[in-house]
């Protein structure tokens, strides 16, 4: 027996089985849902009893595809889906139909600078060289949506570099932003699995002003690091004026519900250069472009 014969596959592949199953004669038995191959039976897979299987599939599919793309680590971007890019900020203000809408539009426009900062930071991260084995590090990863997420993917696209988008199914119609690499554009049903994939490969994470979703992702990350479930990584918090207004971090420490040292879990930054310098200091890596 040759080595080839020892290593060759002995069982017929599932793809072939699917083709053969399609040739079945149409009888009351073969047309029954019970006869459908389990992995082709959509109604069966969507049963409540199959939730653990769907969890496993949603964990496994992105993992396999990112492994195949040789993505070793990521630079994750969290932030609002509502902050406009600077070029569109004024148009939104002018389109306001009431004083309240105008006030909100003006406040969002004031934060539009963070669109540019996210894009520039992604520019920098995207320049990190691939290893000799082709493995890629600090690959830009976002939630795949508009605003800050779009800026991150766009920044990588500026460098002709791949970037990841992890979208989520929502009741209202949406689509991934156009800058996500199509082969790395993922859609999730479960928020929990999406957040897990954000962090499994994360080696740096930038948090920009945002709402409930950003709070959820940011505070879960802080909890994981605080409790030792995850090793520390650079957590770069953009927009001290915004965050200090909506969250009194010092008060949490003063009240004793967190320790004062927990405030060191993240670093305040305002520019892409500040953020990248923090990553440089954390890893002390000469390969980090722009590190002096």
- Mean pLDDT across 182-199: 97
> CA triplet 261, 267, 272: central angle to 5 degrees?
175
Give the pLDDT score at 292.
53
**Location of structure tokens 């965050």:** 243
* Residues 14-46 pLDDT 10s: 999 899 888 888 899 888 999 999 999 999 999
Average of per-residue pLDDT across 55-84: 97
How far apart are alpha carbons 150 and 143 in whole angstroms?
9
Give the CA distances from residue 87 to residues 100, 148, 276, in Å, rounded to whole numbers and listed in that order: 22, 14, 25
| C-beta separation of 20 from 40 below 8 A | no
Domains and CATH numbers, the chain: 57-83+115-283 (3.40.50.450)
Q: How does residue 174 score in pLDDT terms, banded at 50, 70 and 90?
A: confident
Return the pLDDT at 172.
84
Residues with Cβ within 8 Å of residue 60, at least 6 apart in sequence: none
Round the average pLDDT of the chain to a whole number and report it: 94
Query: How far from 50 is each of 29, 42, 64, CA to CA, in Å?
Result: 24, 11, 21
> Please, which residues have CB within 8 angstroms of residue 242's CB and are 6 or more apart in sequence?
111, 209
Contact (CB, 8 A) for 128 and 162: no
How far apart are alpha carbons 132 and 262 in whole angstroms?
38
Position 288 scores a pLDDT of 62
- HSE-CB at 61 with a 13 A cutoff on CA atoms is 15
Least confident of 12-26, 100-114, 193-207, 242-256: 12-26
Strand partners, 163: 140
Does pLDDT of 290 surpass 60? no
Q: What is the predicted pLDDT for the residue at 291?
A: 59
Mean of pLDDT values over 38-64: 96
């Amino acid at each position: 027996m040759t080595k080839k014969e020892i290593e060759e596959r002995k069982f017929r592949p599932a793809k072939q089985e699917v083709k053969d199953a399609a040739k079945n004669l149409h009888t009351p038995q073969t047309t029954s849902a019970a006869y459908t191959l389990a992995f082709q039976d959509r109604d069966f897979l969507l049963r409540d009893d199959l939730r653990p299987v769907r969890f496993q599939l949603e964990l496994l599919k992105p993992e396999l595809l990112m492994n195949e793309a040789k993505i070793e680590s990521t630079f994750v971007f969290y932030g609002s889906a509502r902050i406009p890019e600077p070029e569109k900020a004024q148009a939104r203000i002018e389109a306001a139909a009431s004083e309240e809408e105008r006030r909100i539009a003006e406040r969002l426009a004031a934060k539009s600078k963070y669109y540019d900062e996210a894009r520039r930071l992604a520019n920098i991260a995207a320049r990190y060289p691939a290893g000799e084995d082709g493995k890629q590090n600090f690959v830009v990863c976002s939630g795949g949506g508009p605003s800050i997420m779009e800026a991150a993917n766009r920044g990588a696209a500026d460098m002709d570099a791949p970037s990841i988008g992890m979208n989520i199914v929502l009741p209202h119609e949406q689509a991934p932003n156009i800058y996500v690499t199509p082969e790395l554009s993922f859609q999730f049903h479960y928020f929990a699995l999406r957040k897990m994939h954000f962090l499994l490969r994360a080696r740096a994470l930038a948090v920009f002003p945002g709402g409930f979703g950003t709070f959820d992702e940011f505070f879960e990350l802080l909890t994981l690091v605080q409790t030792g479930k995850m090793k520390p990584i650079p957590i770069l918090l953009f927009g001290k004026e915004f965050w200090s207004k909506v969250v009194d971090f010092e008060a949490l420490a003063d009240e004793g519900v967190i320790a004062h040292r927990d405030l060191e879990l993240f670093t305040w930054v305002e520019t892409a250069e500040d953020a990248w310098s923090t990553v440089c200091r954390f890893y002390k890596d000469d390969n980090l472009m722009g590190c002096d």
